């Protein structure tokens, strides 16, 4: 069976010998021209027309009130949490099945992560687990729920949309509203993904995107803070830009702040990529649909596809194997044959720096870790150019 899978992927990508990467960027537009403009004008740092243009393009595309370009998604998430009021000593609820940046951003705020379980179908934070934790372990406080055992405030909930698939975000929004706790969306992997025609990352006051080299579009390294309240945009941008007060020559800063702004040279790549984002997404969806049809004939393998009401970007296509042994065998044979595949991340709660963090039952997440495999998911140039 594994030979059949490997052969299908090589046929799908039209590559019979060379390495097939898990996800490679495409540069088919004006990337070189925009980069040359940065060099020719010397505007390669955080001031330049492409930064503003990239922010406007992402704002328009996602439908948020405003977007602030950032050096990477981790810093964008740290900023979102801090701007949401997360303080040292607070608790922040998230899912154990996520990339390490989710927990690191919480730690950078001086807060402590609480790891909850995932839904089997979305791989994202389980609303059932969230509700059970809040009802069982916390009680209402003056500024939101507090942990019964320690009195620590639960300052925020951070669901992450795994591989660009929407979690049950509307249910999570409802629970957060009921318990008066901030929602911060980690939509790092979800550019071009929607829940009921609403772009992911736009359900709370703040959300984040990532533009790392392996994402749907890339700025080399970079992220975006999505702001859904127009009254918060200026203050957020000010804090992310060293809190420097406007003046022709004086260096006046009015608060402790970050130097998180994206350089113009990175934003130039983003602008060029945004110009054909819809084509990239269409190609990735076409690849995903071919996978869906192929795996439909292999009952022991589950292909993760959109749930009703959701439209994912299929950033990384994922399959669920029968068990860990089958997963490991596929990983070994595929990578040995030059077709890159990878397992999902280790649970954050299993990493040494988070082994003592609070957690609830993680049985679904543990099962997913043992069985899920990411398969090659790059957009295909032949479908775009």
Q: What is the pLDDT of residue 198?
A: 98
> What is the CA angle 319-211-177, rounded to 5?
75
- Phi and psi at 301, nearest 5°, equal -120, 130
Contact call for residues 373 and 331 (beta carbons, < 8 A): yes
Looking at residue 382, what is its pLDDT?
80
Which residue has tokens 């992450």? 160
Alpha-helical runs (H) found in the chain: 2-13, 31-41, 49-62, 73-83, 100-108, 127-137, 169-179, 233-239, 264-274, 277-295, 324-336, 363-371
User: Are residues 61 and 19 both part of a single domain?
Assistant: no
Q: Per-residue pLDDT tens for 174-195? A: 999 999 999 999 999 999 999 9
Residue 381 has pLDDT above 90, yes or no: no
* In a shared domain, residues 70 and 213: yes
Least confident range of 44-53, 100-109, 269-278, 349-358: 44-53
- Partner residues linked to 221 by β-bridges: none
Same structural domain for residues 200 and 337? no
The whole-number average pLDDT for the span 122-128 is 98
Q: What is the mean pLDDT of the chain?
A: 97
113 confidence band (pLDDT: 50, 70, 90): very high
Cβ distance 350 to 103 under 8 Å? Answer: no
Among 224, 240, 274, give the residue marking a domain's end.
Answer: 274
**Do 69 and 16 fall into the same domain?**
no
- 314 shares its domain with 289: yes
Task: Assess whether 234 and 267 both reside in one domain.
Answer: yes
pLDDT digits (tens, 9 = 90+) for 195-219: 999 999 999 999 999 999 999 999 9
Asked whether residue 187 falls in the same domain as residue 283, the answer is no
Is the pLDDT at 292 greater than 80? The verdict is yes
- Tell me which residue of 315, 291, 287 sits closest to 303, measured CA to CA: 291
* Mean pLDDT on 162-170: 98
Q: Is the pLDDT of residue 282 over 70?
A: yes
Stretch 225-231: mean pLDDT: 97
Domain of residue 20, CATH code: 3.90.1150.10
- Of 274, 308, 333, which residue constitutes the final position of a domain? 274
Last residue of a domain, one of 274, 289, 308: 274
Q: Are residues 235 and 326 in the same domain?
A: no
Asked if residue 336 and residue 220 are part of one domain, the reply reads no
Regarding whether 219 and 71 lie in a shared domain, the answer is yes
pLDDT tens-place string over residues 236-263: 999 999 999 999 999 999 999 999 999 9
Q: What is the C-alpha end-to-end distance of the chain, expressed in Å?
A: 33
Number of domains the chain contains:
2
Residues 185, 210: contact at Cβ < 8 Å? no
Give the tens place of pLDDT for each residue, 322-364.
999 999 999 999 999 999 999 999 999 999 999 999 999 999 9
Distance CA 375, CA 11 (A): 14
Q: Check whether residue 134 and residue 270 sit in a common domain.
A: yes
**What is the C-alpha separation between 92 and 115, in angstroms, rounded?**
9
What CATH number did the domain enclosing 59 receive? 3.40.640.10
Domain hosting residue 343, numbered range: 2-28+277-383
Residue 385 pLDDT more than 90?
A: no
Can you give the C-alpha Rg of the chain in angstroms? Answer: 21
Can you give the pLDDT at residue 348?
98
Burial of 67 (0-12, 13-18, 19+ CB in 10 A): buried
Same domain? 308 vs 266 = no
Q: Note the pTM of the prediction, 2 decimals.
A: 0.96
Q: If you write DSSP's letter for every residue of 270-310 in order, what string do you get?
A: HHHHHTTHHHHHHHHHHHHHHHHHHHTT-TTSEE--PPTTE
């Amino acid at each position: 069976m594994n030979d059949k899978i490997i052969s299908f992927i090589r046929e799908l990508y039209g590559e019979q010998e060379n390495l097939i990467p898990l996800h490679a960027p495409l540069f088919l537009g004006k990337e070189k021209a925009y980069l040359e403009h940065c060099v020719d004008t010397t505007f390669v740092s955080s001031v330049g027309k492409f930064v503003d243009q990239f922010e406007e393009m992402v704002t328009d595309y996602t439908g948020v009130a405003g977007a602030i370009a950032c050096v990477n998604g981790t810093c964008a998430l740290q900023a979102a949490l801090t701007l949401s009021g997360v303080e040292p000593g607070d608790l922040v609820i998230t899912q154990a099945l996520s990339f390490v940046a989710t927990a690191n951003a919480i730690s950078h705020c001086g807060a402590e992560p609480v790891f909850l379980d995932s839904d089997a179908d979305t791989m994202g934070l389980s609303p059932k687990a969230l509700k059970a934790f809040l009802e069982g372990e916390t009680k209402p406080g003056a500024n939101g729920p507090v942990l019964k055992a320690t009195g620590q405030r639960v300052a925020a909930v951070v669901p992450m949309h795994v591989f660009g698939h929407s979690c049950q975000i509307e249910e999570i929004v409802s629970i957060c509203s009921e318990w008066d706790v901030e929602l911060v969306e980690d939509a790092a992997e979800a550019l071009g993904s929607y829940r009921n025609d609403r772009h992911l990352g736009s359900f709370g006051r703040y959300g984040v995107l990532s533009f790392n080299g392996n994402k749907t579009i890339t700025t080399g390294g970079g992220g975006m803070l999505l702001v859904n309240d127009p009254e918060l945009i200026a203050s957020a941008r000010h804090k992310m830009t060293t809190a420097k007060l406007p003046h022709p020559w004086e260096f006046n800063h009015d608060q402790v702040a970050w130097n998180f702004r994206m350089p113009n040279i990175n934003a130039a790549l983003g602008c060029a990529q945004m110009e054909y984002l819809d084509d990239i997404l269409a190609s990735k969806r076409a690849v995903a649909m071919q996978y869906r049809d192929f795996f439909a004939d292999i009952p022991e393998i589950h292909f993760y596809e959109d749930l009703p009401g959701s439209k994912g970007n299929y950033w990384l296509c994922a399959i669920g194997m029968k068990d860990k042994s089958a997963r490991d065998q596929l990983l070994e044979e595929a990578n040995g044959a030059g077709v890159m595949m990878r397992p999902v991340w280790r649970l954050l709660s299993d990493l040494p720096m988070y082994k003592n963090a609070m957690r609830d039952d993680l049985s679904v997440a543990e099962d997913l870790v043992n069985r899920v495999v990411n398969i090659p998911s790059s957009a295909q140039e032949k479908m775009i150019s």
